[in-house]
């Protein structure tokens, strides 16, 4: 097991090299002047772009530039993100907790609802509950998140003023940026509670509801379908018939026998889902003005803030590799037949 | 011919697939009849440009003059919806066909030749897969300049890896079969063996995935338009019409749903279009892959 993890971790730098090298190739479409901003750490340096172009060889072939960038990263310098108005490392630190909080708030509902109703749907195949579940799944899969998000905003913010966009209201903003507020975890739901401010906690939760609900409805579909089809497959197997013949109660058959065997695809999908959320959900964060990694990444990409794009994609790609590894390890946990080599 | 009849028969058995087929047929009819349903005003240089009725920023509710009302800057929503159907088909078909082609060629070559070609192509596939796909697409569109064609190309560039990966696996198992050895013994060239013997035998799972990914592609392209990277303002494109509604979802003071139509109408169109492809894709999967039936 340890050897396997090491082997997969060795893959991580390879993928990160690949992802950044690919980005560098795409960036060759830009003029050297635009690329020069990647190396600018202080906005005041922008006046001396020619010197920057000269220094970093931006008119040289792409591999030379890439090598120079790697050298810079090796010194721990990821560059300055113009859209975030801070160094990339700081920007990641600033935006990641918001995304992490949103991920937690949407992943667990997805997992619980998805597996619970997926199983029920398989057990009651073709009955009304199954039909309803499938309807929810196919509509969720077909609804673009920006349409759903805007509809939710229209009703729950425009009409009822219940759940505003953003990450917190004005008062909470003043509070969390005040001197007295201590940042224990970066997760505002926890931090507000630890600071003993219930009103601010309620405010933060209120801002999480709509983006989380959007993500739950949209991402639920896949998990429902996978759980249902995997359960149907298992329920048709011989060992289930044996268990029924033994006279075991249906509950036990479903929970103890079939579900455990049906878990493998569920585990893979949920780990990919978790990482997909963690890498930043571009559209949902944009619609709700939620200041996370996804929104930063896309604003950086739109405005060609190269350092910002490199930073956010590095994070997402790294997470992707870790997620694949985690799902392989989880495989072995849920299915002892699988040997991790 | 009989294969088509079989397909129709099993499609007919599932009401949901029929609904999907009906939706797509409806949109196809609208797309074909666009010049009749929404005649282009005389003197317009491009039929896809939505006519504007004045320059007032506030949207106007549906009326007899504007069947679906107007959106920001008085763009006629009915016209935009009708011609936007053409745009939606164009984007979806272009992206699926081209990314399928790339996926089949690269995946086929990787599985067929093996060795360092396989290793190289598959690692490259892994790298593209490891990107958050929307961010990569946004980068590509941004550096190449926003526009509808660049949106299509960028969505194509992020969509092919899953086809390539799937096809490679199947090629690996098919190329060991006897009929491949027989073709080789008869002196067939590599390209002929790959494209005439191997790929026809393992293309179905890829086609299933492609038909299921149609809806996803439409959503991704619309998302890029929503982010303002697609066609210029005023071009008949559903994603862009939704982004125009963004400023109006809060309504006017005292009537929160005053401009509901600006979001609801293009939102419903995109939802039904994607729903149609997804329902149809499920039906296609059942036909081409009977093992999965009813799951």
Mean pLDDT of B64-85: 90
Q: How far apart are CA A114 and CA A159, in angstroms?
A: 30
Interface test with B, best of A35, A301, A305 (most B CBs within 10 A): A301
Q: For A122, which residue in chain B has the nearest alpha carbon?
A: B295
Q: Does residue B289 sit in helix, strand or coil?
A: coil
Q: How far apart are CA A336 and CA A332, in angstroms?
A: 6
Q: Find the CB nearest A144 among B127, B223, B294.
A: B223
Interface test with A, best of B15, B130, B213, B263 (most A CBs within 10 A): B130
CB pairs below 8 Å between A and B: how many? 142
**The model's pTM:** 0.90
Mean pLDDT of A112-139: 92
Pick from B236, B199, B248, B260: which is nearest to B34 by CA?
B236
- Other Cβ atoms within 10 Å of B256 Cβ, number: 18
pLDDT recorded at residue B228? 86
Chain A residues closer than 8 Å to B221 by CB:
none
pLDDT recorded at residue A39? 67
Contact A298 B135 (CB under 8 A): yes
Q: Find the CB nearest B140 among A15, A26, A283.
A: A26
Q: What is the pLDDT of residues B2-48, one digit of tens each?
A: 677 877 877 777 888 899 999 999 999 999 999 999 998 888 888 89
Q: Does residue B42 sit in helix, strand or coil?
A: coil
- Other Cβ atoms within 10 Å of A19 Cβ, number: 25
B219 and A CB contact within 8 Å: yes
pLDDT recorded at residue A340? 53
Chain A closest-CA separation from residue B101 CA (Å): 21
Contact A302 B138 (CB under 8 A): yes
Interface test with B, best of A125, A158, A165 (most B CBs within 10 A): A158
Contact A298 B227 (CB under 8 A): yes
Contact B257 A154 (CB under 8 A): yes
Chain B residues closer than 8 Å to A147 by CB:
242, 263, 267, 270-271
Contact A22 B134 (CB under 8 A): no
- Contact at 8 Å (CB) between A316 and A304? no
Enumerate residues 119 to 138 of chain B having a beta carbon within 8 A of any beta carbon in chain A.
Answer: 123-124, 126-132, 134-136, 138
Res. B63 pLDDT band, cuts 50 70 90: confident
What percentage of chain B carries pLDDT values higher than 90?
43
Q: How far apart are CA A138 and CA A164, in angstroms?
A: 28
B14 and A CB contact within 8 Å: no
pLDDT recorded at residue A305? 84
Mean pLDDT of B176-193: 90
- Contact at 8 Å (CB) between A308 and A91? yes
Q: What is the pLDDT of residues A222-252, one digit of tens each?
A: 899 899 989 998 998 999 999 999 999 999 9
Chain A residues closer than 8 Å to B124 by CB:
18
Chain B closest-CA separation from residue A89 CA (Å): 19
Rounded CA Rg of chain B: 23
pLDDT recorded at residue A46? 66
pLDDT recorded at residue A43? 67
- Number of Cα atoms under 13 Å in the Cβ half of residue A23: 32
Please state which of the ranges A28-37, A107-116, B260-269 shows the lowest mean pLDDT: A28-37
Rounded CA Rg of chain A: 24
Mean pLDDT of A29-33: 79
Q: How far apart are CA B151 and CA B87, in angstroms?
A: 12
Mean pLDDT of B172-196: 90
pLDDT recorded at residue A328? 76
Q: For A227, which residue in chain B has the nearest alpha carbon?
A: B295
Q: How far apart are CA B7 and CA B9, in angstroms?
A: 5
Res. B294 pLDDT band, cuts 50 70 90: very low
pLDDT recorded at residue B295? 41
User: Which DSSP state fits B51?
Assistant: P
pLDDT recorded at residue B131? 77
Q: Exposed, middle or buried by CB within 10 Å (0-12, 13-18, 19+), for B235? A: buried
Chain B residues closer than 8 Å to A313 by CB:
131-132, 135-136
Contact A158 B129 (CB under 8 A): no
Q: What is the pLDDT of residues B210-229, one digit of tens each?
A: 888 888 899 999 999 999 88
pLDDT recorded at residue B65? 84
Structure tokens at A208: 């999480």
B242 and A CB contact within 8 Å: yes
To the nearest whole number, what is the mean pLDDT of chain A?
A: 86
Q: How far apart are CA B91 and CA A189, in angstroms?
A: 42
Kindly report each contact of residues B185-193 with a partner whose C-beta sits within 8 Å and lies 24 or more positions away, as own/partner: B190/B112, B193/B112
Q: How far apart are CA A331 and CA A270, in angstroms?
A: 12
Q: Find the CB nearest B134 among A125, A153, A298.
A: A298
Structure tokens at A218: 């949209």
Chain A closest-CA separation from residue B7 CA (Å): 22
Contact A321 B130 (CB under 8 A): yes
Chain B residues closer than 8 Å to A229 by CB:
292, 295
Q: Quick one: how far is CA A108 from the chain centroid?
A: 13
Please state which of the ranges A125-134, B15-24, B57-66, B129-138 shows the lowest mean pLDDT: B129-138
Mean pLDDT of A150-171: 91
B292 and A CB contact within 8 Å: yes
Contact A29 B144 (CB under 8 A): yes
Chain B closest-CA separation from residue A245 CA (Å): 25
Q: How far apart are CA A149 and CA B259, in angstroms?
A: 16
Chain B residues closer than 8 Å to A228 by CB:
295
Chain A residues closer than 8 Å to B227 by CB:
283, 286, 298, 302
Q: For B144, which residue in chain A has the nearest alpha carbon?
A: A29
Mean pLDDT of A7-35: 81
Chain A residues closer than 8 Å to B245 by CB:
150
Reported ipTM: the value is 0.89
Chain B residues closer than 8 Å to A23 by CB:
139
């Amino acid at each position: 097991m340890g050897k396997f993890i090491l082997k997969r971790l060795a893959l991580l730098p390879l993928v990160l090299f690949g992802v950044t090298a690919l980005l560098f190739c795409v960036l060759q479409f830009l003029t050297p002047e635009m690329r020069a901003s990647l190396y600018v750490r202080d906005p005041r340096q922008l006046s001396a772009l020619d010197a920057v172009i000269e220094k970093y060889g931006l008119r040289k072939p792409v591999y030379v530039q890439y090598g120079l960038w790697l050298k810079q990263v090796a010194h721990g310098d990821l560059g300055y993100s113009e859209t975030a108005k801070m160094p990339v490392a700081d920007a990641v630190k600033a935006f990641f907790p918001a995304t992490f909080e949103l991920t937690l708030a949407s992943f667990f509902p997805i997992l619980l609802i998805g597996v619970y109703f997926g199983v029920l749907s398989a057990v009651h195949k073709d009955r009304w509950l199954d039909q309803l579940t499938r309807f929810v799944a196919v509509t969720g899969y077909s609804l673009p998140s920006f349409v759903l998000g805007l509809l939710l905003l229209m009703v729950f913010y425009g009409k009822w003023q219940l759940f505003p966009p953003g990450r917190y209201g004005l008062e909470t903003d003043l509070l969390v940026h005040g001197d007295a507020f201590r940042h224990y975890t970066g997760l505002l739901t926890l931090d507000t509670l630890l600071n003993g401010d219930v009103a601010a906690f309620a405010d933060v939760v209120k801002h999480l509801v709509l983006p989380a609900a959007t993500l739950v409805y949209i991402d639920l579909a896949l998990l429902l379908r996978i759980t249902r089809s995997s359960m149907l497959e298992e329920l048709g197997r011989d060992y289930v018939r044996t268990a029924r013949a033994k006279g075991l109660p249906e509950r036990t058959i479903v929970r103890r026998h079939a579900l455990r065997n049906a878990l493998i695809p569920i585990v893979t999908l949920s780990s990919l889902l978790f990482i997909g959320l963690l890498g930043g959900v571009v559209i949902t964060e944009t619609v709700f003005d939620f200041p996370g990694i996804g929104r930063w990444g896309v604003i950086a990409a739109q405005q060609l803030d190269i350092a910002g794009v490199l930073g956010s994609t590095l994070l997402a790609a790294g997470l992707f590799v870790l997620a694949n590894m985690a799902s392989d390890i989880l495989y072995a946990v849920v299915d002892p037949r699988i040997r991790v080599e | 011919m009989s294969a088509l009849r079989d397909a129709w028969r099993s499609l007919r058995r599932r009401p949901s697939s029929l609904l999907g087929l009906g939706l797509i047929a409806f949109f196809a009819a609208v797309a074909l009849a666009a010049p009749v349903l929404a005649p282009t005003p005389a003197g317009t240089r491009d039929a896809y440009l939505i006519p504007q009725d004045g320059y007032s920023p506030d949207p106007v509710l549906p009326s007899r003059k504007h069947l679906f009302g107007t959106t920001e800057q008085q763009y006629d929503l009915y016209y935009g919806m009708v011609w936007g159907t053409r745009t939606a088909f164009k984007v979806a078909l272009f992206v699926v066909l081209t990314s399928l082609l790339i996926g089949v060629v690269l995946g086929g070559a990787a599985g067929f030749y093996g060795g360092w070609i396989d290793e190289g192509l598959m690692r490259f596939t892994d790298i593209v897969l490891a990107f958050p796909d929307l961010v990569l697409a946004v980068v590509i569109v941004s550096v190449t300049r926003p526009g509808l064609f660049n949106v299509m190309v960028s969505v194509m560039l992020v969509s092919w890896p899953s086809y390539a990966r799937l096809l490679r696996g199947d090629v690996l198992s098919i190329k060991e079969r006897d009929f491949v050895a027989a073709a080789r013994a008869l002196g067939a060239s590599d390209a002929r063996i790959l494209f005439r013997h191997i790929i026809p035998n393992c293309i179905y799972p890829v086609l299933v995935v492609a038909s299921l990914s149609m809806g996803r592609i439409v959503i991704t392209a619309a998302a890029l338009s929503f982010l303002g990277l697609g066609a210029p303002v005023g071009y008949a494109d559903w994603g862009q019409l939704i982004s125009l509604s963004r400023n109006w979802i809060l309504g006017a003071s005292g009537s929160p749903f005053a401009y509901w139509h600006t979001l609801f109408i293009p939102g419903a169109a995109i939802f039904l279009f994607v729903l149609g492809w997804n329902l149809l894709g499920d039906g296609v999967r059942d036909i081409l892959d009977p093992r999965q039936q009813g799951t």
